[in-house]
Structures are given as structure tokens and as C-alpha cells.
Amino acid sequence: MEKIIELKNVTKRFGGITALNRASLHVNKGEVVGLIGDNGAGKSTLIKTLVGVYGPDEGEIAIRGKKVFNWTALKARESGIETVFQDRALCPQQSIVWNIFMGKELRYPFGFVREKEQVKEANRLIREIGFTSKLIDAESPVGNLSGGERQGVAIARAIYNNAELIILDEPTNALSLNETQKVFEFVNNVKKSNRSVLFIGHNIYHVYDISDRFVILDRGEVVHQLNKEEIQSPEELMKLMRDTIKKH
Ligand SMILES: Nc1ncnc2c1ncn2[C@@H]1O[C@H](COP(=O)(O)OP(=O)(O)OP(=O)(O)O)[C@@H](O)[C@H]1O
Ligand SMILES: [Mg+2]
């Protein structure tokens, strides 16, 4: 199985704090990996290291099996890794198509935006990831969309940017049950297209439902890596997490 990305024994310190301690993690092509851990466990630090925002103090990063050097956010994006942060990156007063193409518009040689093509492509993208409502199309304003649908627009944009791995940071926080279901549908469609997802969440039930594999972080260390078959229920996953926390 092809590993899209791999972190090997990565350590990251902030002054006296060791936010990541020899953490290793990989994401295979076409799989959804759930990353869980308590507040301060190091989830955000791990993601930021993965996408080149932080350089690791120790350890290696490999992309499709090849070790990378001087890893940067730009290189991560060029390698097909996109991060979707909650809501923040979208412009609600603009349309879906505007938000998908933002900064990367299709243009004629003399500079004008190829609007019709963009609308067509945006409609194709949002249908592909699972927008089914006839009331929503590429030209609908993002401000009219629900929280889950906004996540969908951000995911569509990541796909337009040729993402092979989409990192979702707490995508279901503050979403209703229906909205969460919508995000799951989007994630499942991303998976069907043989792309990968790294799903970060506090809600163990959400992470359990959507993931093929789980990585549990605790105080900067990866304490468990488990396949879905090894865990019978979200309660069991929760218990595993609690037990590791208790050990300290
Ligand atoms: N830029 C920073 N400077 C100093 N310390 C930091 C920085 N970023 C994170 N830390 C520390 O590193 C540890 C891990 O933090 P991190 O934000 O990665 O955890 P997290 O698992 O994302 O937590 P949460 O669930 O609350 O988002 C914490 O002790 C945190 O205080
Ligand atoms: Mg965090």
C-alpha cells in the first residue's frame, strides 16, 4: 500500500515543552485516519509539522516513500496535501464557485476569468463530493450554507487544488447531527476517489464512525495505532484513550 505521508520519530519542542516526542504516523492512499487525543496532546502540532508550518527538531518526514528536506507549507501543498481549517478560510459573502477558485482562477491568456468554465467545474466538484440539494449550485452564496456544507465547499476546493491527502481539523465541532452526517458523506466520497483523509477530532464517536484506522496521541507520544477491526465500539476507543491518560 502506498504511504502518502509518513512522519518518523518526530520530536518538536517549544522552549521547555516537548509537544511531540518521537511521534510516528503515516497515511496510506485511500484511507481515512482518525487522530485523537486530549487537549494539549499535540494533535495540532503534529498536523502543523506534517504540513510544513513547523520544522521538526528531530525525525524525518517522507512523501510517497521519499524523505524530504526543508519541508515547507508550500512544498506540502505542491505535494497534494491540503488542510481544511474550520470555516475560517471561506468568504461567506461570496459564491461557492468564487470560494473554490479563489486565487487560482481559470483565465484566458489576456487575463479575464473563464467564468462559465469555472461554474461548470464547481458544479461538477460539489456534485462529486456529495451535494445533492437542487437548491444549491455553484453560484449560491456560501453565507447561505450550513456548517457542514461549508466544510464541503472547503473540501471541494482542496480537491480542485489536486489534494491527495486532505487534513480536516475538528470538522464536526459545533455541527448538528445532520450536518455531521453531511460531512461524513463528503469524507466518504473523498475516500471513494482514492484520496486520503486525516481526520482530527475531539468527538470519539465521530472519529470512530468515519475512520479506517486510529492514532492516539498522549502528551506528544503516539500511544496506539489501531485498525478499525481491532476496536469493537467507540466506547472501547474512549476507554483506551482514558486508560493511557490515567497512567500518567
Ligand atoms: N506555538 C507554541 N508555543 C509554545 N507551546 C506550544 C505551541 N503550540 C503548542 N504548544 C504546546 O504544545 C503542547 C501540544 O499542543 P497542541 O496545540 O499541539 O495540542 P492539541 O492536541 O492540538 O490540543 P487541543 O485539543 O487543545 O487543540 C501543549 O502543551 C501546548 O501548550
Ligand atoms: Mg489543537
The CATH number given to whatever domain includes residue 30 is 3.40.50.300
Q: What is the mean pLDDT of residues 121-134?
A: 92
- Residue 241 pLDDT greater than 60, yes or no: yes
3-class secondary structure per residue, 137-197: CCCCEHHHCCHHHHHHHHHHHHHHCCCCEEEEECCCCCCCHHHHHHHHHHHHHHHHCCCEE
Q: Do 5 and 50 touch, CB atoms closer than 8 A?
A: yes
Query: Nearest bound ligand to CA 19?
Result: 1
Q: Which pLDDT belongs to residue 82? A: 93
Q: Which neighbouring-strand residues pair with 83?
A: 167
Q: Does the CB atom of residue 43 touch ligand 1 within 6 A?
A: yes
Q: What is the mean pLDDT of residues 198-204?
A: 89
Q: Does the CB atom of residue 45 touch ligand 1 within 6 A?
A: yes
Best mutation site among 11, 12, 17, 50 for ligand 1 pocket (most ligand atoms within 8 Å of CB): 17
Distance between Cα 38 and ligand 1 center (Å): 11
Domain that residue 76 falls in:
3-246
Q: Which pLDDT belongs to residue 20? A: 98
Ligand 1 nearest atom to the CA of residue 46, by list position: 18
CA distance 46 to 40: 11
Q: Does the CB atom of residue 17 touch ligand 1 within 6 A?
A: yes
Q: Does the CB atom of residue 80 touch ligand 1 within 6 A?
A: no
Q: Which pLDDT belongs to residue 169? A: 87
pLDDT (tens digit, 9 = 90+) per residue, 60-99?
999 999 999 999 999 999 999 999 876 567 899 999 999 9
Residue nearest to atom 6 of ligand 1 (CA): 14
> In which region does residue 65 sit, left (phi positive, over 0), alpha (psi from -120 to 50) or beta (all else)?
left
pLDDT (tens digit, 9 = 90+) per residue, 131-181?
988 899 999 999 999 888 999 999 999 999 989 999 998 878 778 888 888
Q: How many domains does the chain have?
A: 1
Distance between Cα 118 and ligand 1 center (Å): 39
Residue nearest to atom 31 of ligand 1 (CA): 40
Q: Does the CB atom of residue 14 touch ligand 1 within 6 A?
A: yes
CA distance 212 to 52: 25
Q: Does the CB atom of residue 215 touch ligand 1 within 6 A?
A: no
Q: Is the pTM of this model over 0.85?
A: yes
Q: Which pLDDT belongs to residue 88? A: 62
Ligand 1 nearest atom to the CA of residue 217, by list position: 21
Q: Which pLDDT belongs to residue 248? A: 67
What percentage of the chain has pLDDT greater than the value 90?
77
Main-chain dihedrals φ then ψ at residue 95, nearest 5 degrees: -80, 170
Q: Which pLDDT belongs to residue 147? A: 87
Q: Does the CB atom of residue 19 touch ligand 1 within 6 A?
A: yes
Q: What is the mean pLDDT of residues 214-228?
A: 95
Q: Which residue has the cell 486532505?
A: 166
Distance between Cα 20 and ligand 1 center (Å): 9
Distance between Cα 223 and ligand 1 center (Å): 17
